[in-house]
Chains A and B, each alone.
Chain A
Amino acid sequence: MQTQIEIHAEPLNIQQCIDWVMSPDSGGIDVFIGTVRNATKGKTVLKLEFEAYNKMAISEINKITKQAFKQWPVQKVLVHHRTGTLQVGEIPVIIAVSAAHRDAAFEACRYIIDTLKQTVPIWKKEFFEDGEVWVAAHP
């Protein structure tokens, strides 16, 4: 049971994340890579800006990964989230999970990204040609 959680402004490194979760007793690795999409509801997105309440975000991610270890027989769990300005195609989040068998890895990985989006204090601002908006802020 090992966990690595990082939040920082430098570009995320996919290979490093995969290497970290890999282990001889694993039968598979499930990786979720979030990428910046070029449009929202048909409007062209120019770039995104991510802001995090770092200390609390790490503590909330830690709760999620602990829960994942409780629910599924997974071996290593990694969550890296980026902050700052990201261009289209760049990577804001990587989640990597290794397990002896694939079901646990798939399910835990899905649980982690879904829950992260609901509870972790990180915010995304979308920049359009005609303005900018904090995602989900208003009903």
Chain B
Amino acid sequence: MEINILAFGIAKDIFGVSSISVEVSEQGNIATLKALLEERYPKLKQLASYMVAVNNEYAEDKLIITERDEVAIIPPVSGG
């Protein structure tokens, strides 16, 4: 299935665009997605950390993604 991913902050710079689309296997979870992304964008691994948000909530590695989800890469935050 095709998953659309939003990128913010440095993740947007790493992807070169504010959203990308990746092919994830059915029943793929956050860990699967992170592995895929890190292979395609090795610079993600150089970040201090990064999280994935699904439908506006920080997601655990085990969470299964579906095509309807709003998925976003959340690099280290620095608001305030």
Question: Chain A residues in contact with chain B, CB under 8 A?
Answer: 34, 50-53, 55-57, 59, 81, 92-93, 113, 116-125, 134-139
User: In the assembly, what is the distance between CA of A25 and CA of B47, in Å?
Assistant: 47
Task: Tell me how many residues of B have a C-beta within 8 Å of chain A.
Answer: 20
Which chain A residues lie closer than 8 Å to B78 at the CB level? Answer: 117, 122-124, 134-137
In B1-39, which residues have CB < 8 Å from any A CB?
Answer: 6, 8-10, 12-13
Which chain A residues lie closer than 8 Å to B80 at the CB level? Answer: 34, 81, 92-93, 113, 116-117, 120, 122
Decide: A123 near B48, CB < 8 A? Known: A134-B78, A137-B75. Answer: no
Query: Are A118 and B75 touching (Cβ within 8 A)?
Result: no
User: In the assembly, what is the distance between CA of A67 and CA of B80, in Å?
Assistant: 18
Q: Which of A55, A119, A125 contacts B77 (CB 8 A)?
A: A119
Main secondary structure of the interface of A (DSSP, over half): mixed
Q: Which of A55, A116, A137 contacts B79 (CB 8 A)?
A: A116
Query: Are A53 and B79 touching (Cβ within 8 A)?
Result: no
Query: Are A123 and B56 touching (Cβ within 8 A)?
Result: no
User: In the assembly, what is the distance between CA of A120 and CA of B46, in Å?
Assistant: 21
Q: Which of B9, B48, B56, B57 contacts A51 (CB 8 A)?
A: B9
